[in-house]
Amino acid sequence: MKRIVALVLCLCWWGWNGSPAAQPPPVHPNILFIMSDDHAAHAISAYGSRVNQTPHLDRLGREGVRLENCFAVNAICTPSRAAILTGKYSHINGVPVFNRFDGSQWTVAKALQAAGYHTGVIGKWHLQSDPTGFDYWNILVGQGLYFDPVFIEMGERKKHSGYATELITDFALEFLEQRPTDRPFFLMLHHKAPHRAWQPHPKYAHQFDAVDLPEPETFNDDYATRADAARAAIMRVSRDLTRNDLKLSPPPGLKGEALAAWRRGTDSELEVVTDGYTNRLTGAALKKWKYQRYLKDYLACIASVDESVGRVLDYLDQTGLVTNTIVIYTSDQGFFLGDHDWFDKRFMYEESIRMPFLIRYPPELPAGRVIEPMVLNVDFAPLFLDFAGVPVPAEVQGRSFRPLLSGLPPADWRRSWYYRYYHYPNEHGVEPHYGVRTERYKLIYFHRLEQWELFDLLTDPHELRNVYSDPQNARLVADLQAELTRLRQELGDRNQYADLK
Ligand code: CA
């Protein structure tokens, strides 16, 4: 019934806008899911980026729907991928850190394959076990390399010449070209970029040479008022970027482990060429230089991802697939772009948990709509099944947000959600934590430290003022703690991985 109402409203919408009467959406649309790795929403111009332009991603946003509040429930690569495949939280799908994914469990790919979809995954996989539920797979080994990477194609290793982002795009277009045309397809096109160590294609490597990128408002965050976790984290632009990250040249003659150790080194003083002169930089000047060096490479990697999206959209145009294909662009989680003096992710802070999410499907979704309600990565699997007309198994924890996309948010849509990060100590030393986010507030508990943080996202969107200990917030804290407990019980988090190292 809801579907019929949505369809009628959709047809009315087209009618009101004077467009030709839309065809009813096809029953089994193709699903093209494009996901990059560590691409923060604030490095997409459709999301108001201050540092780069992404014309092809912007086109997707212009022609489709943009989610303003899409979040990862555990903001790190492998766990987010497992959450997307299973529609379940880390403590249920067995991947709280970089665990091996148990491919015998239910996944959305298996469900779509069983429903007659031709399924494929190409590019970054990073779940250790071989993909299951895919008719075709061609994945990078582990994190994969930017240049001349080795892929595993249906179990067979093969080294390819070229740049990872371009190769992944080539393989995806081949998949589309060679697919059986009597069945719908589900393709997961997963880029490695713009993951560390941010190695751009030569054609974009100097794109930002003449640019002085603006620094984020929180660049000089001193972590005052915060839990000890912020100070303890090892991901500062000013201190923790390695010589490898900064693309510094090693002394001649270094080889093997000695070279690797040199590359891992960090510097509090550097001699670099700025404005045509060699200068010795320290302190604030060096921090600024490192920020520019880091972010320019990161953004140049994104230029290739944007170009890839353009190639794929052109292919859909040329082949007429545009009318019956759902196209999605997202990233496995966000990233700190010098925000709080950090690179990397992991924390429950906004820059890290926020995923870009653009979706285009002309028969059903209006162009240019922006959606505010909170959507999670565990909702993706139910969304795909909803569009494919496949029932969602009861044990799936996410919920389809198709009604939101159609402008009909259910009255009981979530007003709060649960986050949990486990991976400690790892090289970044981010304290494990869990918490609850509502539309306005965020409560975080660093359980090893037994320290809390509370942020009012309305008055403090950059999360600089922890107001947990403010006496006037006592009632608010109690309410949020009760909600946190309720969510943990509802989701079955019984500290299954509390002692994880
Ligand atoms: Ca990632």
Q: What pLDDT band is residue 13 in, cutting at 50, 70 and 90?
A: very low
Q: Is the dihedral of CA 285, 290, 293, 296 positive or negative?
A: negative
Task: Say if residue 401 is in the same domain as residue 478.
Answer: no
Q: Are 311 and 331 in contact (CB under 8 A)?
A: no
What pLDDT is attached to residue 328?
99
Query: Which tens digits make up the pLDDT trace of 403-442?
Result: 999 999 999 999 999 999 999 999 999 999 999 999 999 9
Task: Say if residue 394 is in the same domain as residue 326.
Answer: yes
Q: Is 462 exposed, middle or buried (0-12, 13-18, 19+ CB in 10 A)?
A: middle
26 prior amide bond cis, ω within 30:
no
- 4 domain-assigned: no
- 390 domain-assigned: yes
Distance in Å, CA 151 to ligand 1 centroid:
19
- 313 domain-assigned: yes
Amino acid occupying residue 370: V
Q: Which of 40, 43, 458, 460 is nearest to 214 (CA)?
A: 43
Task: Using the predicted structure, report yes or no on whether residue 141 has a pLDDT greater than 70.
Answer: yes
Distance in Å, CA 377 to ligand 1 centroid:
13
Task: Say if residue 188 is in the same domain as residue 267.
Answer: no
Query: Which tens digits make up the pLDDT trace of 85-131?
Result: 999 999 999 999 988 999 999 999 999 999 999 999 999 999 999 99
Task: Using the predicted structure, report yes or no on whether residue 351 has a pLDDT greater than 60.
Answer: yes
Distance in Å, CA 473 to ligand 1 centroid:
35
Q: Is the dihedral of CA 243, 249, 251, 253 positive or negative?
A: positive
Last residue of a domain, one of 389, 415, 441: 415
Q: What CA–CA distance (Å, rounded) separates 295 from 137?
A: 32
* Helix extents (H) in 354-423: 380-388, 402-405
Task: Using the predicted structure, report yes or no on whether residue 10 has a pLDDT greater than 70.
Answer: no
What pLDDT is attached to residue 23?
56
Task: Say if residue 42 is in the same domain as residue 132.
Answer: yes
Distance in Å, CA 40 to ligand 1 centroid:
10
Query: Which tens digits make up the pLDDT trace of 31-68?
Result: 999 999 999 999 999 999 999 999 999 999 999 999 99
**Other C-beta atoms lying within 10 Å of the C-beta of residue 240:** 19
What pLDDT is attached to residue 501?
65
CA-based R_g, the chain, Å:
23
Q: Are 112 and 186 in contact (CB under 8 A)?
A: yes
Per-residue DSSP letter, 152: E
Q: Is 153 exposed, middle or buried (0-12, 13-18, 19+ CB in 10 A)?
A: middle
Q: Is 123 exposed, middle or buried (0-12, 13-18, 19+ CB in 10 A)?
A: buried
- 10 domain-assigned: no
Amino acid occupying residue 111: A
Task: Say if residue 391 is in the same domain as residue 258.
Answer: no
Task: Using the predicted structure, report yes or no on whether residue 20 has a pLDDT greater than 50.
Answer: no
Q: What CA–CA distance (Å, rounded) separates 163 from 384?
A: 30
Task: Say if residue 48 is in the same domain as residue 171.
Answer: yes
Task: Say if residue 97 is in the same domain as residue 36.
Answer: yes
Kindly report the CATH number assigned to the domain that includes residue 386: 3.40.720.10
- 104 domain-assigned: yes
Task: Say if residue 262 is in the same domain as residue 180.
Answer: no
Distance in Å, CA 352 to ligand 1 centroid:
10
Query: Which tens digits make up the pLDDT trace of 359-378?
Result: 999 999 999 999 999 999 99
Residues with Cβ within 5 Å of ion ligand 1?
A: 37-38, 77, 332
Last residue of a domain, one of 247, 268, 290: 290
Q: What CA–CA distance (Å, rounded) separates 85 from 94?
A: 12
Task: Say if residue 410 is in the same domain as residue 441.
Answer: no
Task: Say if residue 59 is in the same domain as residue 179.
Answer: yes
What pLDDT is attached to residue 172?
98
Distance in Å, CA 356 to ligand 1 centroid:
12
Distance in Å, CA 332 to ligand 1 centroid:
5
Residue found by looking up tokens 């029932």 in the block: 391
Task: Say if residue 430 is in the same domain as residue 444.
Answer: yes
How many domains is the chain built from? 3
Q: Are 458 and 443 in contact (CB under 8 A)?
A: no
Per-residue DSSP letter, 422: -
Distance in Å, CA 310 to ligand 1 centroid:
22
Range of 141's domain?
28-200+300-415
Stronger pLDDT, 20 or 202, i.e. the higher one: 202
Distance in Å, CA 145 to ligand 1 centroid:
15
Residue found by looking up tokens 């994104």 in the block: 302
- 209 domain-assigned: no
Distance in Å, CA 186 to ligand 1 centroid:
22
Q: What pLDDT band is residue 275 in, cutting at 50, 70 and 90?
A: confident
Distance in Å, CA 233 to ligand 1 centroid:
18
Distance in Å, CA 423 to ligand 1 centroid:
13
Q: What CA–CA distance (Å, rounded) separates 31 from 33?
A: 6
- 18 domain-assigned: no
Q: Are 120 and 131 in contact (CB under 8 A)?
A: no
Contacts of 222 (CB under 8 A, 6+ apart): none
In this structure, the dihedral spanned by the alpha carbons of residues 361, 362, 365 and 369, taken in order and rounded to 10 degrees, is 100
Lay out the sheet containing 441-446: strands in order across: 416-421, 433-438, 441-446, 451-456
List of E strands, 401-456: 416-421, 433-438, 441-446, 451-456
Task: Using the predicted structure, report yes or no on whether residue 16 has a pLDDT greater than 50.
Answer: no
- 253 domain-assigned: yes
Residue found by looking up tokens 């579907």 in the block: 3
Distance in Å, CA 127 to ligand 1 centroid:
12
Distance in Å, CA 77 to ligand 1 centroid:
4
Distance in Å, CA 344 to ligand 1 centroid:
9
Kindly report the CATH number assigned to the domain that includes residue 426: 3.30.1120.10
Distance in Å, CA 18 to ligand 1 centroid:
42
CA 436 to chain centre: 19
What percent of the chain clears pLDDT 70, i.e. is strictly above it? Answer: 95
Task: Say if residue 127 is in the same domain as residue 246.
Answer: no
Whole-Å CA distances, 296 to 25, 42, 175, 292, 333: 42, 14, 32, 6, 20
Task: Using the predicted structure, report yes or no on whether residue 19 has a pLDDT greater than 50.
Answer: no
What pLDDT is attached to residue 26?
67
Last residue of a domain, one of 385, 415, 445: 415
Distance in Å, CA 37 to ligand 1 centroid:
4
Query: Which tens digits make up the pLDDT trace of 330-349?
Result: 999 999 999 999 999 999 99
